[in-house]
């Protein structure tokens, strides 16, 4: 399943509605909300509650996808090709920006 | 380029370092930081500054990928298969949860 | 009720527990979670759901306070005097940084 | 300096501009941006960079205030009295919600 397929999945879903995509700052608020959900689960798994249960792992899987969803909506709304953007960014990350940032093995 | 390729890209990058993945709550803080960058760009494009310039579009492309990066790191660290998680979630989204939530065309 | 009173309120509450304050990155995840809650309410009030009901107003009041809470916890944990920090920052904001940033009346 | 003073400080600043307060979802994006800045500083102080320097402490002070700023803007825009909201919430927190949630001393 390619990034293009993901963008198409989201678009197929969005095109049922009118408007297909919400205004950008509403998508952004949705993204903040979903990130908050990821934070909640990770805090339960790794914070003082220390509850890395099967149920929380299942929640994390769902919340990570829910966090990807508004990112893809924002990209679709703007006509951004995420695969192309990913490739450019990783080229930069692998060879330039992070070259000396971390401790190598 | 599949979701699996993305997860592998990130893992190839991460495996250069020791440790390969940061602790979960540090990845989470990284995610919050990147989401903040997306917010900054969208606010410049669609807020009162109203500056939907080519440069901001380029920034948005980069920031969306930068926001996907820690999501994929979190998934990799936990051994989560994002493609599988995506498919389960979309099935739910398309047929159940959102069925009556929005105004259909 | 002064900012110092707020910091003391939080400290009185925290000192019941052991440890009084969670590790910094756990406080940060808590902050991300609470900000997500603010986003959720504002999106319901001002997004496509457009539901600025009395109940949502009540929720917003609670969520804003819940968002202030981890900010104050972080400050307390680091021994930061928020009133002092506020005064310094506002001096800067009022006279320097934002001087020409927005459209004056 | 009371919470009311803070709300007035922000209002004095805001009333110079037209409009005094940005739309709610723009304020929300601003909040997400500032929270991202807090995350960035805390990650440098407590993550793998482990750089709890005087400079980062100074940055944290500033970023915490910058994060309080949009919270207060949102409250002002909605006519929310934060002191009243705080008191209600803390009553609840101290006596009810968190009563059995944490390990007491």
- Percent helix, strand, coil in chain C, to 5, is 70, 5, 25
Q: Taking a C-beta distance cutoff of 8 angstroms, is the pair B60, B38 a contact? A: yes
Query: How many CB pairs lie under 8 A apart between chains B and C?
Result: 18
C2 lies within 8 A of chain B by CB: no
Structural domains present in chain C? 3-97 (1.10.287.1080)
pLDDT band at residue D90, thresholds of 50, 70 and 90?
confident
Is the CB of D51 inside 8 Å of chain A's CB atoms? no
- At CA D34, angle to CA D28 and CA D37, rounded to 5? 150
Could you say which of B28, B48, B102 has the minimum Cβ distance to residue C29? B28
Question: What is the rounded average pLDDT for all residues in chain D?
Answer: 90
pLDDT tens-digit profile of D49-89?
A: 888 899 999 999 999 999 999 999 999 999 999 999 999 99
Higher per-residue pLDDT: D35 or A93: D35
Residue C96 banded pLDDT, cuts 50, 70, 90: low
Q: pLDDT (tens digit, 9 = 90+) per residue, A30-55?
A: 999 999 999 999 999 999 888 889 99
The pLDDT assigned to A102 comes to 56
CA within 13 Å, CB half, C9? 21
pTM to 2 decimals? 0.92
Nearest CB to B25: which of C29, C48, C102?
C29
- Count CB-CB contacts under 10 A for residue B90: 17
Contact between C29 and B26 using a beta-carbon 8 Å cutoff: no
Q: Which of A5-9, B88-92, C60-64 has the lowest mean pLDDT?
A: B88-92
Using a CB-CB distance cutoff of 8 angstroms, which residues of chain D are in contact with residue C15? 105
Q: Is C100 on the interface with B (CB under 8 A)?
A: no
Work out the average pLDDT over B29-46: 98
Q: Which residues of A touch B32 (CB under 8 A)?
A: 35, 39
Q: Do D32 and B35 touch (CB under 8 A)?
A: yes
H-helix segments, B2-104 = 3-14, 24-46, 54-78, 82-92
Q: Does B26 touch chain C (CB under 8 A)?
A: yes
State how far the Cα of B83 lies from the Cα of B86, in Å rounded to an integer: 5
**Structure-token pair, residue C7:** 């910091």
């Amino acid at each position: 399943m390619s990034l293009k397929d993901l963008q198409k999945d989201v678009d197929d879903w969005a095109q049922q509605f009118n408007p297909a995509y919400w205004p950008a700052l509403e998508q952004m608020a949705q993204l903040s909300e979903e990130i908050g959900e990821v934070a909640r689960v990770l805090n339960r798994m790794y914070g003082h509650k220390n509850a890395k249960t099967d149920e929380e792992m299942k929640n994390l899987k769902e919340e990570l996808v829910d966090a990807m969803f508004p990112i893809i909506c924002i990209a679709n709304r703007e006509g951004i090709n995420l695969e192309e953007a990913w490739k450019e960014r990783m080229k930069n990350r692998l060879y330039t920006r992070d070259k000396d940032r971390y401790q190598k093995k």
